Structure 1
Amino acid sequence: MRWTWVRTAAVALVVAASIVQTSQPDTAEAQVSPGRSAIYGGGPFYQDGQGVMDVLRSSGFTTVILWSIHVHDNGDLYYNDHLVVKDGQYVGDAGWPARLRTLKQAPTSVDRIEVSVGAWGTPDWQAIDNLITRDGTGSGTVLYRNFLALKNATGADAINNDDEAHYDVDSTVTFARMANAMGYRNFTLAPYTAVSYWQGVKNGLGGLVDRVYLQAYAGGSGNDPATWTRSLGMPVDPGLWSKNGSGCTSGDSPAQVESKMRAWKSSAGIPGGFMWLYDDIKKCSAQGTAADYARAINTATTS
């Protein structure tokens, strides 16, 4: 990323012994698959206290993606500029884990949390590769202990791979298996280019990869969900950039998001979509709130 989801047959009961016929009228119970919607967010998810958690819980978004975890050469984990895990211990804001736990507390629309690793112009996946080469992935390694501490602190269900530089299949697959062994249930992808890398990761991990968040903005603005679905062998959840920039004139409004997602639902059968970026939605709330964007995606991807 850049700072850049019966018909009941008529039943007729005919009483042969009488002239009276009773019947149950046809009923139609449509099977509805609700849309799903994810939102990436940076600093506000860490710094804005309980208020932002409550906004997310009532927004309609079903997945919250914490962007972004950066891996340093010594294994330290930073959430953007904040050191959060060191030597197998959570050392970040003492109140953050408790706030994150409220995301799934009823009443809420959120049922999934992911931690995203990497970003445009960062060496995080190179650092992961180097640490695996040096230490392996055993439970005593700093990489294992730190990501376990991160999971315990965030309650994350999945790790989201936002590699935009290193693109090494073997180390990515090895890392994902390590993460799964410690309790991250799934590993998700956030591609915008380098399709052969993402194919290699998907093929290497199989069903461990349960979602693909396709960037369809900025460097990925020309991406076609149908093409990526064919390339990866699974449907993708495309993402768009909310209103942003000077005067909030760049990016898509909720109405534009709904229109594009409806078109992709028709052309590619997308099961959901995502928004980039909560930080910009917050700044440009007059152009659309989190709830407005979630409603747009959920409405468009319901089937």
Structure 2
Amino acid sequence: MKKLSLTILLITLSFLHVCFASSAVFAGGPVYKERETSINELKKSGFDTLIIWTIHIHKDGSLNINEEFPIIENGNYIGDNDYPNFRRDVASLKKGNSHIKRIEFGLSAAGSPTYHNIKVLLKCKKSQDCDIKKNILYRNFMALKKAFPDVDALNNDDESELDLQSSVKFHRMLAYIGFKSTIVPYSDPDYWNQLIKKVNAKYPNALDRIYLQGYSGGSGNSPCEWNFGLPVSLGLSSNTSSVRNVYGTISKSKLKCPSVTKGGFMWLYDNFENSSLPKDYALAINTALNVKTQR
């Protein structure tokens, strides 16, 4: 009865006001392992943004999804060898009866050497080595863009390296290729603010969203304290936040700093796939942001 009454409340509130906002969800293995159910469920859930979790960069510059299967090596897409439907499924996410308008690839993770490898791979020993177009990272991310033209952005989850010089260079390279960048921090706001400024100074609005972790190490974070000129989405985890908690937390943040809190996201679809929760969480976020969910 409580769940029913909450759902009625959220649906009622969702028609009160319409404004720009974003509801996002991070999703890992189910996107390619349980594609028969996950792709359609994600499209119909009500989330407008999907972040596919996550790409790791190896020492040689190759790209791997979740250390489960390689997708790019030596400037070529090889993901079909393990998951031949992956590219087609990603391309289908924005098509047909889908709420999804934006797709991102996660990049790195806690404990990943990805950004250390970026730092090493972008280091120039000689002036002739500084041509970014000759770098293996440039070649591999060009191949990624060619393989996934519908992917809009790379989601930066650097949780250890935090090297400003190489990260700026790398994300400017992504902008040149045609990718947006986003960040998903939980601490070190000064570092992330500098990254935003330096990337966008060269390519305006290339880094265009902040997904602020409000769980685990980021518990207690407030978008109001991350006012760096970009829309902030507050993230919560299904491990610690019920649908009611999500609605309450994001709506409070929206009321406290409406000009900054422009979205919300859920971590992690893998933990609540193939259930009513994808729609329930999406509706909670959209309603908290006063967004009318399109049906």
Normalising by structure 2, we get a TM-score of 0.84
Q: Give the counterpart letter for 2:209 in structure 1.
A: R
1:280 aligned to 2:271? yes
1:156-209, Cα deviation, whole Å (9 max, x unpaired): 10111100000011111111111111111x211111011121011011123222
Which structure has the larger Rg?
A: 1
8 A Cα contact 1:235 1:268, kept in partner: no
Percent identity of paired positions between Structure 1 and Structure 2: 39
1:133 aligned to 2:123? yes
1:191 aligned to 2:180? no
The residue that corresponds to 2:10 in the other structure is none
SS of the residue 2:266 aligns to: strand
1:99 to 74, 89, 92: 89
SS of the residue 2:47 aligns to: coil
What is the Cα deviation at residue 254 of structure 1?
1.1
2:255 to 261, 266, 269: 266
What is the Cα deviation at residue 152 of structure 1?
2.4
Q: Give the counterpart letter for 2:197 in structure 1.
A: N
SS of the residue 2:272 aligns to: helix
Q: Distance in 1 between matches of 2:283 and 2:130?
A: 44
1:55 aligned to 2:41? yes
* Alignment coverage as a number of residue pairs: 261
The residue that corresponds to 1:220 in the other structure is 218
What is the Cα deviation at residue 31 of structure 1?
7.1
8 A Cα contact 1:137 1:144, kept in partner: no
8 A Cα contact 2:208 2:231, kept in partner: no
SS of the residue 1:262 aligns to: helix
1:172 aligned to 2:170? no
CA RMSD of aligned residues (A): 1.7
User: Which runs of 5 or more residues in structure 1 are unaligned?
Assistant: 1-29, 245-250
The residue that corresponds to 2:4 in the other structure is none
1:118 aligned to 2:104? no
The residue that corresponds to 1:12 in the other structure is none
Q: Give the counterpart letter for 1:48 in structure 2.
A: E
Q: Distance in 2 between matches of 1:101 and 1:158?
A: 14
1:146 aligned to 2:133? no
The residue that corresponds to 1:300 in the other structure is 288
In structure 2, the CA distance between the partners of 1:117 and 1:268, relative to structure 1 (3 Å rule), is same
User: Which runs of 5 or more residues in structure 2 are unaligned?
Assistant: 1-15
Q: Give the counterpart letter for 1:87 in structure 2.
A: N
By relative contact order (CA 8 Å, sep 6+), the higher-ranking structure is 2
8 A Cα contact 2:72 2:78, kept in partner: yes
